[in-house]
Amino acid sequence: MTKTPPTPPSVSTADQNLVLSSLEHDQLVGAKKHPIPRRRFNAPELAVIWALRIYLIFMMAVVGYQVWTAAH
């Protein structure tokens, strides 16, 4: 049996806003400068992202062609 780590208690938006509003400027800047690591995607997620990129390039070409044909 694998052990799952316990989930941390959730912090409400009101609590987070209260804490952030009580910090001084330099403390607030320090609190906001936590590096966020890049997310690792699995194979299906990468396939969807690449499909969307290809679709975007295709649609840009279609729109460019339509603008070009309308102008001529």
Candidates 20, 37, 38, 18; CA nearest to 29 is 20
Question: pLDDT at residue 1 above 60?
Answer: no
Contacts of 31 (CB under 8 A, 6+ apart): 20, 23
- Segment 32-38 long-range contacts (CB within 8 Å, at least 24 positions apart): none
Residues in Cβ contact with 28 at an 8 Å cutoff, skipping those fewer than 6 apart: 20
Per-residue pLDDT band at 4 (split at 50, 70, 90): confident
- Tens digit of each residue's pLDDT (9 = 90 or more) over 31-59: 667 777 888 999 999 999 999 999 999 99
Say what the alpha-carbon torsion angle 60, 66, 67, 68 is, to the nearest 10 degrees: 110
Which of the two residues, 31 and 72, has the higher pLDDT score? 72
